[in-house]
Amino acid sequence: MSFKDLIKNAIFEEEPQPAQPVQPAQPAPTRGTRPSIPAPSASAAMPPATGRDNEFYGRLAKQTDLTAVPELAKIESFAAPLVDVIPDRVLRYKAAMATAQSQAGLTKAAILKGFDSLLATLDLASTSFASQSDEIGKNDVDGKAARIADLNASIEQKQKEIADMQQQVKAMQAQAETSRTRLQQAKSNFQAAYQRRKAEIEQQRKEFETILQ
């Protein structure tokens, strides 16, 4: 799994990763197995990582595996057969180094250069992680921030439109009330005019009744 995948999982995963169990000590390797260059002392060792940290560590460990460095693999090939003979790790590697120097021309400088190579690879991994995390931040995080800004702007516009419509509703309500009042007044005026004209016609009818007798 690439750093980009690990970063995305770290960002979008809802459930936290369970703590990884501490692995029991492994038996000493034999010839041809993965190098077991002396580990740092207990005082210098880092505490065991858990959860997401372990996945990043696994990726880094894979990229900086000691077997990728010929010099480190070579010193291990001389040290592995001495495990049962020289239990002390420091003394065992000193003896292995002496044999490797005489038989394979391996030097201390070459071994240290191998570790420098691993550190350089580790630094490149760090640079790659920074680049990929920045890219994901720009695309997946900043992109969402921009979308949020757009949505907020849209909400603000909609709220303005709603406020304008509410003002229109109030204006129309006032207009409707005025129109209702005027309509009632018109009905009243018409009724008064109707009664007046009706009375006039009825009066004229009576007058003609008298005239026509």
Look at residue 135 and tell me if it is in a domain. Answer: yes
Between 136 and 44, whose confidence is greater?
A: 136
Per-residue pLDDT, 196: 95
DSSP state of 137: I
DSSP character at residue 126: H
Q: How many domains does the chain have?
A: 1
pLDDT at position 55 over 50:
yes
Residue 205 lies in a domain: no
Structure tokens at 164: 């304008």
- Residue corresponding to tokens 């949505």: 151
Quote the pTM value.
0.49
CB atoms within 10 A of CB 134: 12
Domain assignment of residue 94, given as a range: 52-176
Are 105 and 96 in contact, with CB atoms under 8 Å apart?
no
Q: Which helix (H) or strand (E) holds 23?
A: none
Residue 119 confidence class, pLDDT cut points 50, 70, 90: very high
- At 17-41, the pLDDT tens digits run 444 443 433 434 444 444 455 544 4
Stated as kind and residue range, the H or E segment containing 50 is none
27 in any annotated domain: no
Q: Check residue 52 and give its pLDDT.
A: 54
The residues, any chain, with a CB within 8 Å of residue 151's CB and separated by 6 or more, are none
| Residue pLDDT, tens place only, 60-79 | 888 888 888 899 989 889 99
pLDDT in tens, 133-176: 888 777 777 778 888 889 999 999 999 999 999 999 999 999 99
Q: For residue 68, is it within any domain?
A: yes
In a domain, 183, yes or no: no
**Among residues of the chain, what percentage have pLDDT more than 90?**
47
**For the chain, what is the largest distance between any 2 Cα atoms, rounded to a whole number of angstroms?**
161
Residue 204 domain-assigned? Answer: no
